Amino acid sequence: MAAIKAVNAKAEVARAQAALAINICAARGLQNVLRTNLGPKGTMKMLVSGAGDIKLTKDGNVLLHEMQIQHPTASLIAKVATAQDDVTGDGTTSNVLLIGELLKQADLYISEGLHPRIIAEGFEAAKIKALEVLEKVKVKKEMNRKILLDVARTSLQTKVHAELANVLTEAVVDSVLAIRRPGYPIDLFMVEIVEMKHKSETNTKLIRGLVLDHGARHPHMKKRVEDAFILTCNVSLEYEKTEVNSGFFYKTAEEKEELVKAERKFIDDRVQKIIDLKEKVCAEFGKEFVVINQKGIDPFSLDMLAKHGIVALRRAKRRNMERLSLACGGIAVNSLEDLTVDCLGHAGLVYEYTLGEEKFTFIEGCVNPLSVTLLVKGPNKHTLTQIKDALRDGLHAIKNAIEDGCVVPGAGAVEVAIAEALLVYKHNVKGRARLGIQAFADALLIIPKVLAQNSGCDPQETLVKVQAVHLESKQLVGIDLNKGEPMVAADAGVWDNYCVKKQLLHSCTVIATNILLVDEIMRAGMSSLRG
């Protein structure tokens, strides 16, 4: 009888075999849910929320975030998988599959009487060897555009259909290459993703500049200007109440008028400074002038600016202010005291686009933009959401490849190579720990098996063919999912991220080992002790 029962009669306890069976069952259950999603030929899942909203996705990270998982062990695995996505941006589905398969293979030996601790030791030894093999098979390359296109295509084809993946690949690679600065880490927040419910998903494109989701607020302002100076500022151009609680006292109506005029003059002086700068620089260079302000601009100020041919946008989002100075150049000013030409950025084309009741302002033709916009188009909301999730993974894949400076062959090639190396290595290990290494090698093969199964091939037959070719040629051979035949992944341009595979081997082994070593599950929290 569990000791906890003596303290708390209401405690629920599962011991030894029962506890392990519960945990393995949960891991297998989660594995079966995500199994069919893996790879470019994976199927979709439809998630329906309580309000009836539909989400179509095959991205493991989205599924695990959106699904309501009740079982504590399954919830633990889901958190580990989503943590992997937060760190590397990919590998969620593989993570869940591998943890489930490690536990399944371990269960075969445990049911024959082998102690979980021995399998855990075997797993640890196998992980160290697997990471060594991964170091050997990684391919160091100069990250030119061609390699990055292959990396992005491999990642995107697992999230969206091939035709759309090809469109997104170019846009994603060009956007990361545009914002990359030597000596600085790549900041993916400088790639803004703006969605527009319009046309079809293949119209998604890269804008080398910015797209703001609002237009100018005055009817007489130009809708399109070319070759324009851009002033980005965070200055209030509207009448505001004082910050401290104050009151104005006046004896006559004339005094009141004077007070109102004085307040108005305070704002008009600010606007005049912008107009003076415009007159000075536009007379000299013959260009147009655009003001983008983070704070408000009142109707009187808008009217003054419009009379002088200045296009003004108010209440721009804070994140866009930083992007604007990176995209167009210039400095975002917080005061209008010392305005000079150096504060101004430049754009080749600024125009307003109206779609239904929504207005968008496009700022294009920037010379060397360090911030760009991916304009996502699609006919409905769930298509837009699906593309946004795919773009996020594609951007991370390219960032990882550039930062790693190396890639590893995809299509299940790495898993087959590591499994093969582990089978050779286990003969050097003495004692029963080699059974853990055998289990680890068998578990890794779940990735190529599921890839084959999802593309409609026989998993065993395909795997045997791939292993045979790998042994003969000693090259890294993966699965051609269109034909179900072995192929050299590197020649086909199928590349995965090195850091994703490394993180995968680390996290899966740790979690599978921890779950294996649980021999008692107690539901005896404070809530049940109160009764």
User: The tokens of 418 are what?
Assistant: 């590591």
- Of the candidate ranges 10-24, 183-197, 511-525, the one whose mean pLDDT is the lowest: 10-24
Distance CA 114, CA 469 (A): 34
Active site residue 491: no
Active site residue 169: no
DSSP character string of 26-65: HHHHHHHHHHTT-STTPPPEEEE-TT--EEEE--HHHHHH
- Of the candidate ranges 13-22, 450-459, 463-472, the one whose mean pLDDT is the lowest: 13-22
Distance CA 227, CA 395 (A): 31
Catalytic residue among 107, 389, 393, 496: 393
- How far is C-alpha 42 from the geometric centre of its chain's CA atoms? 20
Tell me how far apart the terminal alpha carbons of the chain are, to the nearest angstrom. 21
Average pLDDT, integer, range 81-109: 83
Catalytic residue among 57, 73, 92, 169: 92
Q: What percent of the chain has pLDDT over 90?
A: 0
Helix (H, G, I), strand (E, B) or coil at 14: strand
- pLDDT score recorded for residue 285: 73
- Inform me whether the pLDDT recorded for 213 exceeds 80: no
Active site residue 92: yes
- Inform me whether the pLDDT recorded for 531 exceeds 50: no
Distance CA 130, CA 441 (A): 9
Place of tokens 């491999």: 154
- pLDDT score recorded for residue 528: 41
- Selection from 358, 234, 338 nearest residue 291 by Cα: 234
Average pLDDT, integer, range 208-235: 78
**Span 118-167, pLDDT tens digits:** 888 888 888 888 888 888 888 887 778 888 888 888 888 887 787 888 88
- pLDDT score recorded for residue 13: 62
- Inform me whether the pLDDT recorded for 6 exceeds 60: no
- Inform me whether the pLDDT recorded for 93 exceeds 70: yes
- Inform me whether the pLDDT recorded for 525 exceeds 60: no
- Inform me whether the pLDDT recorded for 438 exceeds 80: yes
Judge whether 341 and 320 are in contact, CB under 8 Å: no
Judge whether 44 and 56 are in contact, CB under 8 Å: yes
Specify the DSSP element, H or E, that contains 407. Answer: strand 406-409
Distance CA 271, CA 179 (A): 33
- Inform me whether the pLDDT recorded for 246 exceeds 80: no
CA angle 181, 187, 190 (to 5 degrees): 95
User: The tokens of 308 are what?
Assistant: 């002088």
Catalytic residue among 57, 73, 82, 93: 93
